[in-house]
Chain A
């Protein structure tokens, strides 16, 4: 990669495509240039700009954990111009990747604590990176609880991994779907994420909560966490805004004076409360 050109992407080959849910796919990406791959490292919480040449770039968090080297994964839903084209690609095709950008989840600081992951819909991917990063060093953490909800059973992503987490004795996984989204053989919960969280009566002592999901889910989840005594410093989330450069220059992702791309995307609720309503 050209060191002088901060906008030049790495070339990545699509090694594997997994269909996660209707319109949702996961790509495993390998660096076309092996050296670049060996020199590449990132931390959980960071994001990148993925490009389909001829269409443009799109922003996603890296969905794979930083503890696994040699590849990165991204999970996306077909929505706009670039993701639609991305979805039409095949294994072996080349795309571009710029990154890693942004700040990280301070996993090191969480050692010795309980972790409570709360995710909704297509927001599990950014959290999946954190979950696996923590599970890959499981001994460093106490209880790990994952609450994941989607609109319908079909919309749940990473179904194989959900099954794997369900099996693990060292993970407490709760899955739920919105009322009406269940199938006859659905064994998980039925109800909105905040409702289920309330029913779970989470313990706030020595616990970090990581919340990722659509704005409405986040809005109703925070009060529940507050009710159970979670302090704002112990609640984390990751923001997204429209981005182009990812480097704090193009001027569109700022929330007040804070650039989501440079100062974020990971924020504690304490930080979030200081931000104006611009996201």
Chain B
């Protein structure tokens, strides 16, 4: 659909959450908890950290939670009875107050889980999630969305986007049918825009630091550049912080849990940075050392995904770098890959 532009009074913002709640929609939004900002269920606007630069974790958990049941069964004498797990049961949910990079991050997950055969656990949740993003008035030095095709006012993936255009007013961009359906709950609070509004004036400045196509090309060609990957990852300690806060990382594990009567199989977040990720039972490990695992992380996002799923697996949100205990800065590493003269 063609996008619709409206104006909402800042003072009316609390009413939105009230109405969503009255309608029975769970609302997920960034909530400040000491030093971290988590995406959680909120009951009112008071709880929402609209001033937070970014949530610590991405919003992916709205459709791809850290722990999720994929099979359910009961145990008989020597028989097993499966109890269907219905991906449909997820409620219509509103993801509110997230950033454009969160909204566009779902396109990588859509590509992975939507590729045949379709993973309905993710897809149904995503389908039932309406994303209301807030464009970014500020950015920090970890942000590089504009280098990977996004931007502080990027509307891709959002159903509605708000931009503060003054202390009193928000520009409302209604972008999709889902967004229009949600906006129907607060049509009375919206007014028409007067004249052209240059949204860019109200957005953070995020400098382009590298040429994405060059980075994709050079990453693809650098598989055997062992020295590059080792040099970049010497300080990497092999934890999964980067992958778990990332909006596009989708790798997962299965684990069974059961008692004497019943059991479940759970799908859990996993990370290519863990040495166990690829370890064979024999003890052989195709990605034996951390530099190979770091290479996998970069290659997957900047070489394999662009080629196979036609999407770069990075939104430039910088969460991985902020969360990294040892300051592995992806923006810096990608910039240096982009600067490789010959590969």
Taking a contact as CB atoms under 8 Å apart, the answer to whether A251 and B270 are in contact is yes
Which of B19-27, B70-78, B97-105, B228-236 is near enough to bind chain A?
Answer: B70-78
Per the 8 Å Cβ criterion, residues 68-117 of A in contact with B are 79-80, 83, 90, 92-94, 96
Considering the complex, give the chain B residue whose CB is closest to the CB of A57: B254
Residues of B within 8 A of A56 (CB): 254-256, 265
Taking a contact as CB atoms under 8 Å apart, the answer to whether A256 and B86 are in contact is no
In the bound assembly, the distance between CA atoms of A94 and B263 in angstroms comes to: 14
Taking a contact as CB atoms under 8 Å apart, the answer to whether A5 and B263 are in contact is no
Q: Among A8, A90, A94, A251, which residue has the most Cβ atoms of chain B within 10 A?
A: A251
Per the 8 Å Cβ criterion, residues 220-278 of B in contact with A are 223-224, 250-258, 263, 265, 267, 270, 272, 277-278
Taking a contact as CB atoms under 8 Å apart, the answer to whether A2 and B84 are in contact is yes
Residues of B within 8 A of A9 (CB): 71, 82
Taking a contact as CB atoms under 8 Å apart, the answer to whether B278 and A252 are in contact is yes
- Measured between C-beta atoms, what is the minimum distance from B300 to chain A in Å? 7
Which of B50-58, B112-120, B134-142, B169-177 is near enough to bind chain A?
Answer: B112-120
Which of A145-153, A225-233, A240-248 is near enough to bind chain B?
Answer: A240-248
The answer to whether B202 has its CB under 8 Å from any CB of chain A is no
A11 touches which one: B82, B251, B255 (CB < 8 A)? B82
Interface string of A240-269 (1 = CB under 8 A from B): 111011011111111111000000000000
Taking a contact as CB atoms under 8 Å apart, the answer to whether B71 and A93 are in contact is no
Residues of B within 8 A of A247 (CB): 117
A79 touches which one: B86, B223, B282, B286 (CB < 8 A)? B282
Considering the complex, give the chain A residue whose CB is closest to the CB of B271: A251
Considering the complex, give the chain A residue whose CB is closest to the CB of B253: A244
Considering the complex, give the chain B residue whose CB is closest to the CB of A58: B281
- Measured between C-beta atoms, what is the minimum distance from A24 to chain B in Å? 14
**Interface residues of A, dominant DSSP:** loop
Taking a contact as CB atoms under 8 Å apart, the answer to whether A276 and B272 are in contact is no
Considering the complex, give the chain B residue whose CB is closest to the CB of A244: B254
Using CB atoms and an 8 Å cutoff, list the residues of chain B in contact with chain A. Answer: 70-71, 73, 75, 78-80, 82, 84-88, 112-113, 115, 117-121, 223-224, 250-258, 263, 265, 267, 270, 272, 277-282, 284, 286-287, 292, 296, 299-300, 303-304, 307-308
B307 touches which one: A51, A242, A257, A279 (CB < 8 A)? A257
A5-B270 contact in complex given A249-B113, A251-B251, C-beta closer than 8 Å:
no
In the bound assembly, the distance between CA atoms of A240 and B303 in angstroms comes to: 22
In the bound assembly, the distance between CA atoms of A51 and B73 in angstroms comes to: 13
Residues of A within 8 A of B252 (CB): 244-245, 249-251
Taking a contact as CB atoms under 8 Å apart, the answer to whether A53 and B80 are in contact is yes
- Measured between C-beta atoms, what is the minimum distance from A54 to chain B in Å? 4
In the bound assembly, the distance between CA atoms of A221 and B303 in angstroms comes to: 32
Taking a contact as CB atoms under 8 Å apart, the answer to whether A242 and B73 are in contact is no
- Measured between C-beta atoms, what is the minimum distance from A83 to chain B in Å? 8
Residues of B within 8 A of A185 (CB): none
Q: Which 7 A-B pairs have the closest CB atoms?
A: A251-B251, A80-B281, A54-B258, A7-B70, A257-B304, A79-B281, A94-B80
- Measured between C-beta atoms, what is the minimum distance from A51 to chain B in Å? 8
Using CB atoms and an 8 Å cutoff, list the residues of chain A in contact with chain B. Answer: 2, 4-9, 11, 32, 51, 53-57, 79-80, 83, 90, 92-94, 96, 215, 240-242, 244-245, 247-257, 276, 278-279
B119 touches which one: A6, A244, A279 (CB < 8 A)? A6
Residues of A within 8 A of B286 (CB): 241, 255, 278-279
Residues of B within 8 A of A256 (CB): 223, 299, 304
Residues of A within 8 A of B88 (CB): 4
Considering the complex, give the chain A residue whose CB is closest to the CB of B220: A257
- Measured between C-beta atoms, what is the minimum distance from A245 to chain B in Å? 7
In the bound assembly, the distance between CA atoms of A279 and B265 in angstroms comes to: 27
Residues of B within 8 A of A5 (CB): 70-71, 84-85, 87, 120-121
Taking a contact as CB atoms under 8 Å apart, the answer to whether B270 and A92 are in contact is no
Taking a contact as CB atoms under 8 Å apart, the answer to whether B78 and A94 are in contact is yes
Taking a contact as CB atoms under 8 Å apart, the answer to whether A8 and B82 are in contact is yes
A249-B287 contact in complex given A8-B85, A53-B80, C-beta closer than 8 Å:
no
- Measured between C-beta atoms, what is the minimum distance from B237 to chain A in Å? 20
Residues of A within 8 A of B82 (CB): 8-9, 11
